[in-house]
Amino acid sequence: MNLTSARIQIIGAETLAGAALAAATQARGGAFSLLSADDTNDWRDAAAIEQGIASFRPDYLFVVAGESGGIALNQAHPARLMESNLRVVLNVLGTAARLRVPRLMYLASSCCYPRDAAQPLRIESLMTGSLEPTNTAYATAKLAGIQFCAAVRQEHGLAWFAAIPSTLYGPEDHFDPAQAHVATSLMIRMHQAKQQRLSVFSVWGTGTPRRDFLFSRDFADAAFFLAGHYDAANGPINVGPDSDYSIAEVARMVQQVVGYEGRLEFDSTKPDGAPIKRLDASALRSLGWQPKTGFVDGLRETYAAFLKQLPVGL
């Protein structure tokens, strides 16, 4: 699809992915519209959602909405996370289907893969085993979104598909400790430890689980690449880099970027989550897309943005 003259709408403009897509859309020019959780009472107001989509008449819809967070948030509020993301499926995707939005990309999650799936994670492994217990509720809601896209393709013939990203991080983050994923959470907490001159910094878990990370600007670039080059009939697609790191390695890289000089201590009484999550992004590579940002470079840019939004003196 040629996106030069396409009308593009981003649902979930308040999220990290949504903010990155909004910045990329503005840079590209052309007609675009943003819809956020605040506009729709956290996706409860179906009438506001319908008005927002119908009045703009998008050619392409990016749906990146729904609350998310790390292990602590998933354990504390599984019902809240599941409800938020199911509302997106029912009220946003449901409305878009009734309005026959021709092209749509839904942002799913690597949490949708079974805990014990073979690595790297391939699309064929979806729904073949039990989910990671620490985020089963959230992942179930995201799986519903993936299946809804498939159902709409089958029933209405619309070009809808789901993208499954690696863990996102980047300067567009809101830097909310309660909702941050691992890299950003470590950054926020380690900055606080540095300011408080703490001699020891505690990292959740053993440090052995491995994760892959995708810089937010690279995600937005990949999303637009897929919008222009991907055949939705092929179903979900992974979006990720070609490398992964242990949580211990991530913590040490964040320590280097932040400049924290204390000792890292790993708290094995806290849950690790899945032992390894690395996406097989070979399908995306075969189309010609590659990420551009190295992990440490992305961390540096993210930390600079974090410092910029802090009140003076913090």
What pLDDT does residue 274 have? 86
Q: Does domain 182-208+244-277+294-309 have CATH number 3.90.25.10?
A: yes
Counting other chains too, the contacts that 155-159 makes at CB distance below 8 Å and 24 or more residues apart are 156/97, 156/100, 158/97, 158/100, 158/101, 158/102, 158/103, 158/104, 159/102, 159/103, 159/104, 159/232, 159/233
Q: Where in the chain are all domains bearing CATH 3.90.25.10?
A: 182-208+244-277+294-309
User: Per-residue pLDDT for 103 more than 70?
Assistant: yes
- pLDDT on residue 179: 80
What stretches of 88-178 show up as alpha helix (H) in DSSP? 94-98, 136-156
For residue 55, the model assigns a pLDDT of 98
Q: Quick check: 122 pLDDT over 80?
A: yes
- The tens digit of pLDDT for each residue in 189-220 reads 999 999 999 999 999 999 999 999 999 999 99
Residue type, position 41, single letter: N
Catalytic member of 60, 113, 138, 260? 138
The pLDDT of residue 47 is above 70: yes
Query: Per-residue pLDDT tens for 231-243?
Result: 999 999 999 999 9
What is the pLDDT, as a whole number, of residue 277? Answer: 93
pLDDT at 313: 58
Rounded distance between C-alpha atoms, residue 9 and residue 31, angstroms: 9
Under the banding of pLDDT at 50, 70 and 90, the label for residue 314 is low
SS3 breakdown of the chain: % helix, strand, coil, rounded to 5?
A: 45, 15, 35
Topology of the domain covering 8-171+213-239: Rossmann fold (3.40.50)
Coil, strand, or helix at residue 289?
Answer: coil
- Among 120, 246, 229, CA closest to 186: 246
% of the chain residues with pLDDT over 70 = 99
User: For residue 273, what pLDDT is reported?
Assistant: 86
Residues of the chain with CATH 3.40.50.720: 8-171+213-239
Give the residue among 201, 210, 206 at the shortest CA–CA distance from 241.
210
Directed axis angle between helix 136-156 and helix 78-87, to 10°? 10
Tell me the pLDDT tens digit for each residue of 250-301.
999 999 999 999 999 999 999 998 889 999 999 999 999 999 999 999 999 9
Cα separation, 152 vs 209, in Å, equals 36
Report whether 184 contacts 220 (CB < 8 A): no
Active-site annotation holds for 138: yes
Please say whether the beta carbons of 283 and 218 come within 8 A. Answer: no
The mean pLDDT value for 104-126 works out to 98
Mean pLDDT of the chain: 96
pLDDT of residue 217: 98
The predicted structure's pLDDT at residue 2: 73
Under the phi-then-psi rule, with left for phi > 0, alpha for psi from -120 to 50, and beta for the rest, what region is 157?
left
